[in-house]
C-alpha cells in the first residue's frame, strides 16, 4: 500500500480541468532528480531480461519491465489527483515514451478517445471500449511527465483548451503511414486527414503552450486536442506518458497485436495495473507484479 496523504485536486483545479480538458503542471520529482531517474529507467530498459516485446519502434509499456517506471505510474502524487477526476478505481493501461531529438519537428494536433491508431485497432476493435456512462468527470486520463526540460524551444506540449467538449476529428477513420512526408507529423501519420471540417485550422484557435520543468507532470484528456512544438534546442526532450482508465473500460478487447509506425507487437504480455481502489468488473487482465516480479504499489482510498 502507498501513502495516501498526498492531496488530490482542489475544487478550482477540478473546475479548470472540466472547462479546459487539462490541468497542471504539478511537481513530482526535483528538477535534478528527474534526469537521473530517467537514466536509471534507460539502464533498466537496456538490460531488461523481461522485455514485454522486442520492438524498438513501438515503445509501449516499459512500466511492465522497468521497476523505476513501475513505481512511477503508481506515484500517489499522480494517482490521488487522478482520483479527483476519474474516481477511486483506476487502471494504468498503457505507457509511451515521447522522445524528441534536437531538430525534430513538432507533433501534429490530434484528438482521441478510443485510441484507434495503426492497422489492428479499428472503429470496431478500438484500444478502449467504454461500457457505461460515469458519474465522474471522465473514464480516461493521460499523465505526461517531463524528464528533461520541456519548454517552448524543447518542443513542449500544446493544448487547445475546451476542445474536449466536441469532436473536431473522426478518430474511427484509418490513417495512412508515410514517415517521409512532412505533412505526416503525427508519428508518420497525417492526423489532419481525420478533420471533420477540412477548412478548420487549429492554429487559429486559442492555444496553451504547456512549458514544464524536468520532474513536472500534466493531466489531460486525450480528447482535448493536443500536439507539440518542434525541438529547436540542442537537448533531447524526454517525456513519459502513462494512461489510465476506469475499470469499466475494456482494454484491447479483441485486439491481439498492435501494428503501428511500421512495426507490430503481440499483446500477449499486456495487462493493466490497478493503481488505486478495486476492479469490480473483471474485464481486463490485471498485473499485480511487473514482469520482473516487482509488486506494483497501489493507493488505497
Partner 1 sequence: MPAVETQTSLKKLVDFLSTQPETAHLTEEQVTADATREELGIGSLAVILLVNNYIQANAPGVMIDPAWVPRLNDVAGIMSVLDEIDQSAS
List residues binding partner 1 (CB under 8 A): 35-37, 39-40, 42-43, 45-47
Is the link from the previous residue into 25 a cis peptide, with omega within 30 of 0?
Answer: yes
Return the number of the residue (56 or 124) whose C-beta is nearest partner 1: 56
The dihedral built from the CA positions of residue 157, 161, 164 and 167, taken in this order, carries a sign that is negative
Other beta carbons less than 10 A from residue 108's beta carbon:
18
C-alpha cell at 114: 478510443
Closest CA to 169 of 160, 181, 158: 160
Return the number of the residue (103 or 165) whose C-beta is nearest partner 1: 103
- Least distance between partner 1 and beta carbon 57 (Å): 13
Q: 191 φ, ψ to 5°?
A: -70, -20
Return the number of the residue (39 or 131) whose C-beta is nearest partner 1: 39
- Least distance between partner 1 and beta carbon 68 (Å): 9
Location of C-alpha cell 474516481: 87
Compute the half-sphere exposure of residue 260: CA atoms within 13 Å on the CB side of its CA: 23
- Least distance between partner 1 and beta carbon 39 (Å): 4
- Least distance between partner 1 and beta carbon 293 (Å): 19
Compute the half-sphere exposure of residue 89: CA atoms within 13 Å on the CB side of its CA: 13
Return the number of the residue (54 or 206) whose C-beta is nearest partner 1: 54
- Least distance between partner 1 and beta carbon 41 (Å): 9
Find the distance separating the first CA and the last CA of the chain, reported in whole Å: 10
- Least distance between partner 1 and beta carbon 33 (Å): 10
Return the number of the residue (68 or 139) whose C-beta is nearest partner 1: 68
Return the number of the residue (99 or 259) whose C-beta is nearest partner 1: 99
Beta 216-220 vs 128-130: how paired, if at all? Answer: unpaired
Amino acid at each position: 500500500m502507498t501513502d495516501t496523504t498526498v492531496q488530490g485536486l482542489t475544487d478550482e483545479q477540478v473546475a479548470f480541468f472540466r472547462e479546459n480538458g487539462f490541468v497542471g503542471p504539478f511537481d513530482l520529482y526535483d528538477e535534478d532528480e528527474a534526469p537521473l531517474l530517467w537514466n536509471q529507467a534507460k539502464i533498466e530498459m537496456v538490460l531488461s531480461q523481461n522485455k514485454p516485446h522486442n520492438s524498438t519502434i513501438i515503445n509501449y509499456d516499459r512500466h511492465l519491465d522497468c521497476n523505476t517506471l513501475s513505481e512511477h505510474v503508481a506515484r500517489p502524487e499522480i494517482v490521488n489527483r487522478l482520483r479527483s477526476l476519474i474516481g477511486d478505481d483506476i487502471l494504468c493501461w498503457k505507457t509511451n515514451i515521447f522522445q524528441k531529438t534536437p531538430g525534430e519537428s513538432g507533433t501534429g494536433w490530434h484528438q482521441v478517445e478510443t485510441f484507434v491508431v495503426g492497422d489492428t485497432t479499428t472503429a470496431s476493435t478500438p484500444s478502449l471500449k467504454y461500457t457505461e456512462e460515469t458519474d465522474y468527470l471522465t473514464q480516461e486520463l493521460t499523465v505526461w511527465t517531463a524528464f528533461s526540460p520541456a519548454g517552448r524551444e524543447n518542443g513542449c506540449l500544446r493544448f487547445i483548451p475546451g476542445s474536449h467538449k466536441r469532436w473536431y476529428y473522426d478518430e474511427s477513420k484509418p490513417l495512412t503511414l508515410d514517415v517521409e512526408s512532412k505533412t505526416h507529423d503525427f508519428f508518420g501519420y497525417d492526423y489532419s486527414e481525420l478533420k471533420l471540417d477540412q477548412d478548420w485550422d487549429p492554429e487559429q484557435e486559442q492555444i496553451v503552450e504547456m512549458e514544464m520543468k524536468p520532474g513536472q507532470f500534466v493531466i489531460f484528456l486525450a480528447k482535448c486536442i493536443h500536439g507539440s512544438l518542434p525541438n529547436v534546442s540542442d537537448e533531447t526532450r524526454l517525456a513519459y506518458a502513462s494512461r489510465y482508465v476506469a475499470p469499466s473500460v475494456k482494454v484491447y478487447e479483441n485486439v491481439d497485436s498492435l501494428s503501428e509506425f511500421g512495426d507490430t507487437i503481440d499483446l500477449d504480455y499486456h495487462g493493466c495495473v490497478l493503481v488505486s481502489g478495486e476492479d469490480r468488473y473483471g474485464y481486463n487482465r490485471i498485473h499485480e507484479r511487473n514482469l520482473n516480479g516487482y509488486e506494483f504499489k497501489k493507493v488505497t482510498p
